[in-house]
Amino acid sequence: MKQKGPIPFWKMSGSGNDFIVIDYRKPTPSPDEMRMFVSKVCRRGLSVGADGVILIRSSSVADYGWHYYNADGGEVEMCANGSRCAARFAFENRIAPAKHRFETLAGIVEAEVMPGSLGRVRVQLPDPSGLRLNVPIVINGEDHTGHLVNTGVPHVVYFVDDLEKTDVIGIGRKTRYHSLFTPKGTNANFATQASPNQIIIRTYERGVENETLACGTGAIATALVATALGKIEPPVSIRTRSGVMLIVNFEGEGTAFKNTTLEGDARIIYTGEIQKEAML
């Protein structure tokens, strides 16, 4: 990303997913420029470090738009935890009011920075699609039962008996690159039901290529699948790996879902400037 001098940014966290957020309401850099920039600044230990980068951009159809990039530099359609952070960033910087709309590659997101709550945001996301239950997935010669749904990005959900003993990274990576999901791959979620209205999840995220502390679209996917399987009814509480709770709500008829919302925190961790040395 070509810019003279340091680049102002906010470091934000949505339930443990952390992001570098930049106000960049000017022509967006080329994909190659962004891939290099993002992959460098997301390195932990050598640069700012993050799960992804959010560029706030201008929009002709909403209050603003965004580009969302995973840590590997690839742009993806949606990040639900990131969408809450983008909404709070826009509100705090007077880019948009508390209730507003912003444009993504997955469609328009409706956002509300909730009054009287420090950093709590609710977003309504584009309708999920492509629900498929009980899909056999063979990994390392073993049969696994996966449930598929697209919540802006593709997800597989596995329900497991012992979440702590599950090989999230090993099975997650094999799922992410499985031939069933070529060429773009998928995210993989591992879930167990803790109570009548609470599910605990762990997620292997495509683009980060590791387990993350939270995944908003994964939380939504898991809640939808659990409801379709008759395990739970909305609203659904999702406990993420960070321990932070997310609330997923939606309306559903059979395998169709609409008015899907995700509510959770959007924390401002710190603000700063990205220096040239962060790009070395």
What tens-digit pLDDT sequence spans the chain (280 residues)? 666 789 999 999 999 999 999 999 988 889 999 999 999 999 999 999 999 999 999 999 999 999 999 999 999 999 999 999 999 999 999 999 999 999 999 999 999 999 877 789 999 999 999 999 999 999 999 999 999 999 999 999 999 999 999 999 999 999 999 999 999 999 999 999 999 999 999 999 999 999 999 999 999 999 999 999 999 999 999 999 999 999 999 998 777 899 999 999 999 999 999 999 999 9
pLDDT of residue 256: 86
The yes-or-no answer on residue 79 being catalytic is yes
The yes-or-no answer on residue 215 being catalytic is yes
- Give CA–CA dist 40/90, Å, rounded: 25
pLDDT of residue 3: 67
Options 3.30.1330.10, 3.10.310.10, 3.30.750.24, 1.10.8.60; CATH of 7-114+267-279? 3.10.310.10
Cα–Cα separations (whole angstroms), residue 223 to 15, 45, 142, 191, 198:
16, 34, 25, 10, 9
CB 215 within 8 Å of CB 156? no
pLDDT of residue 28: 85
Q: In this structure, which amino acid lies at residue 101?
A: R
From the candidates 22, 41, 214, 215, which is the catalytic residue?
215
CA 31 to the chain's CA centroid: 20
Helix (H, G, I), strand (E, B) or coil at 271: strand
pLDDT of residue 53: 98
- Give CA–CA dist 242/261, Å, rounded: 20
249: β partners: 261
Please determine, looking at this structure, whether the domain spanning 129-265 carries the CATH number 3.40.50.720: no
The domain ranges of the chain are 7-114+267-279, 129-265
Query: Going by DSSP bridges, is the β-strand pair 64-70/256-265 parallel, antiparallel, or unpaired?
Result: unpaired
From the candidates 12, 48, 79, 131, which is the catalytic residue?
79
Against a cut of 0.85, is the pTM above it?
Answer: yes
Helix (H, G, I), strand (E, B) or coil at 279: helix
Do 129-265 and 7-114+267-279 have the same topology in CATH? yes
CA 156 to the chain's CA centroid: 14
